[in-house]
């Protein structure tokens, strides 16, 4: 996913964009290009609010669990809302499981212009070694991987190239000290 796909200033949805971008790419690869939809971060934010912690730092493990067990619709079906402080009661999608465990939507898309409310699910997530060669092998065999990095106050001023932490004396950076980790998508 390139930077133009990440909505500027919406750190809450960024975690879910990264995870959904990795998942959508892997679904496309595993389906040999049959399924190429961008997955809805709002579906995850609104419907997994209790277990995934929504905009309160998010839980990557719970988000992957939700995608595997409950599934998500496309971004076209369930676009981002302005209020991202959604709770479980704000979920606009519902689904049920068939005898084989495949989920099917029981409501139409919140975006009335989109007719496909297909539920996308993934295989169980797994951890990859932090060894660079193992990560490269995983990307070559299965597609992008999600990684977590330590976030320092200077990260919010980073523009291009390889990020390296630089201690800042900027007073504005104080408000960013509470953020500890950031999800990123590794593509190669």
Q: How does pLDDT run across 163-172, given as a tens digit for each residue?
A: 887 766 666 5
Instruction: For residue 55, give both structure tokens.
Output: 């905009």
The two beta strands, 145-150 and 103-105, are: unpaired
| Count of other CB atoms within 10 angstroms of residue 41 | 28
The pTM of the full predicted model, rounded to 2 decimals, is 0.74
Q: How big is the CA angle at 21 (ends 15 and 25), to the nearest 5 degrees?
A: 155
Q: How does pLDDT run across 48-103, given as a tens digit for each residue?
A: 866 665 566 567 788 888 889 899 999 999 998 755 454 445 789 988 999 998 89
**Domains of the chain and any CATH numbers:** 1-126 (3.90.70), 129-188 (no CATH)
Q: Give the end-to-end CA distance of the chain in Å, rounded to a whole number.
A: 12
């Amino acid at each position: 996913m390139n930077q133009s796909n990440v909505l500027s200033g919406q750190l809450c949805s960024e975690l879910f964009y990264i995870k959904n971008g990795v998942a959508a790419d892997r679904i496309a690869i595993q389906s040999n290009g049959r399924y190429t939809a961008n997955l809805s971060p709002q579906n995850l934010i609104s419907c997994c609010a209790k277990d995934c912690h929504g905009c309160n730092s998010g839980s990557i493990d719970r988000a992957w669990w939700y995608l595997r067990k409950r599934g998500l619709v496309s971004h076209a079906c369930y676009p981002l809302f302005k209020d991202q402080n959604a709770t479980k009661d704000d979920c606009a999608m519902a689904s049920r499981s068939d005898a084989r465990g495949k989920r099917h939507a029981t409501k139409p898309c919140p975006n009335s212009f989109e007719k496909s409310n297909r539920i996308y699910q993934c295989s169980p997530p797994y951890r990859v070694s932090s060894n660079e060669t193992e990560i490269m092998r995983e990307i070559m065999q299965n597609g992008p991987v999600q990684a977590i990095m330590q976030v320092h106050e200077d990260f919010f001023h980073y523009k291009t190239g390889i990020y390296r932490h630089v201690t800042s004396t900027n007073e504005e950076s104080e408000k960013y000290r509470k953020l500890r980790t950031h999800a990123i998508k590794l593509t190669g």
